[in-house]
Amino acid sequence: MLQIGVAIGPGATAFTRARLGGTIARLPTGVRPVLTCWDGTLIRYAAADFPPGTLPLLLDGGTKGWVEAGLPLSAGLERLGPEPDDVYKRPYEGTDNSAAAMQGYIDWELELVDQLKRDGAHNFRVI
């Protein structure tokens, strides 16, 4: 996955190349974007998608080089560009459920196999 600005520095935002057209359209005037991918090999393809006169900078060595240099990365979902549509959220994330209620549910799931073994009124076979 090619990302543009993998939140590698202040103000960076992560985008996928599939959404590059919309990303370019939203760039503020006078901003020269820095493109990166894990090892820096795919960014030249994304750079070719920019209109003339909007030449981006390419991060030498990619995000891998950034990490190897000991520079910080953002590790959350707060610096994503458009609303993510490929992020899995666990059922209890983003809810107002109490920690006790969530733990109760997890405990119930963990005990479910033993409960099924004890309950002979079902047609499930635990493998």
User: What digits encode the pLDDT tens for the residues 26-61?
Assistant: 887 887 888 888 898 888 888 988 888 778 889 889
pTM reported for the whole predicted model: 0.56
Q: Could you give the 3-state DSSP secondary structure of residue 3?
A: strand
pLDDT in tens, 74-117: 766 666 666 666 666 676 666 777 888 888 888 988 998 888 88
Query: Of 51, 52, 62, nearest to 4 (Cα)?
Result: 62
Which positions ≥6 away from 59 have C-beta within 8 Å? 8, 34, 35, 36, 40, 43, 65, 66
Tokens of 34: 């820095």
Q: Where are the domains of the chain?
A: 3-68, 88-120
Q: For residues 53 and 5, give the distance between their C-alpha atoms in angstroms, rounded to a whole number.
A: 19
Q: Which CATH class is domain 3-68?
A: alpha beta
Instruction: Give the distance between the most distant pair of CA atoms in the chain.
Output: 72
Query: Of 14, 4, 2, 3, nearest to 74 (Cα)?
Result: 14
Which positions ≥6 away from 79 have C-beta within 8 Å? 7, 12, 13, 14
